[in-house]
Amino acid sequence: MSENQIVNKEDLVVRFAGDSGDGMQLSGTLFSDASALTGNDIATFPDYPAEIRAPHNTIAGVSGYQVHVGNHIYSSGDKCDILVAMNPAAFKSQLKWAKKGATVIVDIDTFTEEAMEKAGYKENPFTDELERAYTIIKAPITSFTEKIGDAQGVDKKTADKSRNMFALGIIFYATHKTLDHTFAYLERKFAKKPAVITLNKAVLTEGYEYADKLEVMHSHIFEVAHADKMEKGRYRNITGNVATAWGLLAASEKSGRRLFLGSYPITPATDVMVELAKHKSLGARVFQAEDEIAGVCSAIGASYAGALACTSTSGPGLSLKSEALGLAVMTELPLVVVDVQRGGPSTGLPTKTEQSDLDQALYGRNGEAPLVVVAASSSANCFYWAFNAAKIALEHMTPVILLTDGYLGNGSQLFKIPSMKDMPEIKPRLAKENDPNYRPFRRDEEKFAREWALPGMEGLSHRVGGLEKCPDGPLSTDPENHALMTKNRQEKVNRVANYIPDQEVTGNPDADLLVVGWGGTSGALTLAVEEMNNEGKKVAYTHFNYICPLPKNTGDILRKYKKIVVCELNNGQFAGYLRTQFPECPMTQYNKVMGLPFEVGELKEHFTKLLEK
């Protein structure tokens, strides 16, 4: 290795982009795992098309994976320092995500006339202007990879599957990292296919060495700061969907209730079910139902029979579950509904993120049908919010909707591994066998929740169902009773507020401007507010995880600020919800409905304008 100039950076964003079969998701995952293991904080953002294999070399088929590594990482980053573009379509569509001056690595072999035409290029894309604006490395990735394959007796088509390893090799060189972690991964993953290990290791190494031989690379090696602000402890990398699944498992262990998940596959929520299906040894009873309705209904049945019952879905699936959610409200059974939100309405943008199911979660049922709504705000804290949703459901005898989104669910983050003994207790409200005073809808004074008598328990046989009941259990259409039961169901949900912590304000609480966020946008909002305060622009920030009911001090916070901006990835659903409860507080909105997460830059720009007004 010749004399290198290493550029030290607090953080670095790398974006891998290629055709949807090019293995970009894997490259990104391997890079983020290697970074985490070598001491960086990380956040990732997979940005992939809905089509499994869109037509080859088209912009519709471009699959991206962004990794943000560094000292203290809140979000997956706005724009990238290094872009890998495996074909002309990726180059054309992804260059807008590169910072000016970014290192851009392209597989120059793919820039054939035909592929460039498919990407919409009429002439050579590498204009002088572009070459000046970026450091473009035109690596012959395909031909190098095929040559290595040839030497090992592997045909071109098979060898091409390892092109991503060449690119990854370059990235490891450019980020001053070793190949050890990926070697270990390959050995583990392909233990039964030694030829695959040999090929991929050789291509990865070749990519690394290719970079070493490039003069330009020597001044473009980035050493990213290690995470030194992280709390001591044991860490792992985790995606939001896996964290959600694990949170439910943890709640099952803690509550002593069998975990049941009844679900139907739907993007981007499927991985919650996929993960739980692996864990029968931990008692997870997963049922792949015939449709979304059967998913939630089987969960309601399981809940009636005494399980910690859950169903996982995304927007259109939640629509299908609406009627059954009304039944869960009416029967006052514990139920956790995980909604990994995606772009809507209808099929919408299945693989893209959005926060537009809030109204549906709050109001999407017939009748007066209140339930609890909570939202996770990072991939890692999906674990705690899933746990928390289950705790509320079991202790307050109510369905709970947990809102996450595609960004949190598919994205990953470092997760400080908790010890189960430190997790809060969960005490399900089980009735006592042969209790002569048991009544199905008798409530306790504090929580206003009913007791859970399970089929098979002696002396408690009873009926529940969708028809209105009186507190003692039998059906009733009495007008006064309906009014009372409606009030009681609402009161039970309202009283959950007595068991949740106060809402907090971060940033500079004495600012004029209060930024309000909820759910999956906390990374970008936190960073935007932090940077502005560091720059001397005073901004306060409050982020909501408890949506319904809201923390009891919400009004006190909102009434303190002259200017409020509610930021969300929809057209203003949370803002509307807050306005109905706090009409005295004037609120502005910052909304984005593009299927993409917030960027720190756009937020700061908007907040700065608000401060200047």
Among the residue ranges 4-12, 213-221, 429-437, 458-466, the one whose residues contact other proteins (CB under 8 A): 458-466
- Measure the CA–CA gap between 27 and 23, rounded to whole angstroms: 6
Contact in structure between 522 and 411 (CB atoms under 8 Å): no
Q: Is 323 in the site for other proteins (CB under 8 A)?
A: yes
Structure tokens, 315: 């927007």
User: Shortest gap between Cβ of 465 and other proteins (angstroms)?
Assistant: 3
- Measure the CA–CA gap between 22 and 467, rounded to whole angstroms: 54
518 bridge partner residues: 544
Among the residue ranges 44-52, 112-120, 202-210, 254-262, the one whose residues contact other proteins (CB under 8 A): 254-262
Q: Is 463 in the site for other proteins (CB under 8 A)?
A: yes
Per-residue binding letters, 537-576, with other proteins (x by CB under 8 A): ----------------------------------------
Q: Is 299 in the site for other proteins (CB under 8 A)?
A: yes
Q: Is 282 in the site for other proteins (CB under 8 A)?
A: yes
Q: Is 1 in the site for other proteins (CB under 8 A)?
A: no
Contact in structure between 567 and 521 (CB atoms under 8 Å): yes
Q: Is 36 in the site for other proteins (CB under 8 A)?
A: yes
Q: Which of 66, 77, 71, 43 is nearest to 239 (CA)?
A: 43
- Measure the CA–CA gap between 56 and 32, rounded to whole angstroms: 27
Taking the least distance from each CB to other proteins, the nearer of 304 and 607 is 304
- Measure the CA–CA gap between 554 and 181, rounded to whole angstroms: 46
Figure out which of the listed residues 216, 305, 483, 594 binds other proteins, where binding follows CB under 8 A: 305
Taking the least distance from each CB to other proteins, the nearer of 304 and 385 is 304
Q: Is 398 in the site for other proteins (CB under 8 A)?
A: no
Among the residue ranges 32-40, 46-54, 118-126, 168-176, the one whose residues contact other proteins (CB under 8 A): 32-40
Residue with tokens 């449709």: 291
Per-residue binding letters, 57-96, with other proteins (x by CB under 8 A): ----------------------------------------
User: Shortest gap between Cβ of 292 and other proteins (angstroms)?
Assistant: 10
Structure tokens, 594: 């593009």
Figure out which of the listed residues 50, 133, 196, 230 binds other proteins, where binding follows CB under 8 A: 230
What residues contact residue 228 under an 8 Å CB cut-off, 6+ apart? 71
Taking the least distance from each CB to other proteins, the nearer of 466 and 601 is 466
Q: Look at strands 221-224 and 6-9 and give their pairing.
A: parallel
- Measure the CA–CA gap between 353 and 350, rounded to whole angstroms: 8
Q: Is 266 in the site for other proteins (CB under 8 A)?
A: no
> What is residue 411's three-state secondary structure?
coil
Taking the least distance from each CB to other proteins, the nearer of 86 and 179 is 179
User: Shortest gap between Cβ of 502 and other proteins (angstroms)?
Assistant: 29
Among the residue ranges 63-71, 274-282, 528-536, 583-591, the one whose residues contact other proteins (CB under 8 A): 274-282
Contact in structure between 473 and 440 (CB atoms under 8 Å): yes
What residues contact residue 485 under an 8 Å CB cut-off, 6+ apart? 441, 468, 469, 470, 471
Contact in structure between 291 and 324 (CB atoms under 8 Å): no
Structure tokens, 281: 């040894």
User: Shortest gap between Cβ of 70 and other proteins (angstroms)?
Assistant: 15
Figure out which of the listed residues 3, 113, 114, 290 binds other proteins, where binding follows CB under 8 A: 290
Instruction: Tell me how many residues contact other proteins (CB under 8 A).
Output: 63
User: Shortest gap between Cβ of 248 and other proteins (angstroms)?
Assistant: 11
> What is residue 171's three-state secondary structure?
helix
Taking the least distance from each CB to other proteins, the nearer of 18 and 326 is 326
Q: Is 37 in the site for other proteins (CB under 8 A)?
A: yes
Q: Is 301 in the site for other proteins (CB under 8 A)?
A: yes
User: Shortest gap between Cβ of 304 and other proteins (angstroms)?
Assistant: 6
Ramachandran bin of 291, using left for φ above 0, alpha for ψ from -120 to 50, beta for the remaining angles: beta
Taking the least distance from each CB to other proteins, the nearer of 37 and 593 is 37
Going across the sheet that includes 588-591, the strands are 506-507, 539-544, 513-518, 563-568, 588-591
First to last CA, the chain: 55
Q: Is 285 in the site for other proteins (CB under 8 A)?
A: yes
Contact in structure between 559 and 536 (CB atoms under 8 Å): no
Q: Look at strands 284-288 and 506-507 and give their pairing.
A: unpaired
Q: Is 291 in the site for other proteins (CB under 8 A)?
A: yes
CB atoms within 10 A of CB 158: 14
- Measure the CA–CA gap between 599 and 521, rounded to whole angstroms: 10
User: Shortest gap between Cβ of 499 and other proteins (angstroms)?
Assistant: 23
Q: Is 45 in the site for other proteins (CB under 8 A)?
A: no
Q: Which residues bind other proteins (CB under 8 A)?
A: 33, 36-37, 39, 227, 230-237, 246, 249-250, 253, 258, 260, 262, 279-283, 285, 287, 289-291, 293-294, 297-307, 309, 323-324, 326-327, 331, 417-420, 454-456, 461-467
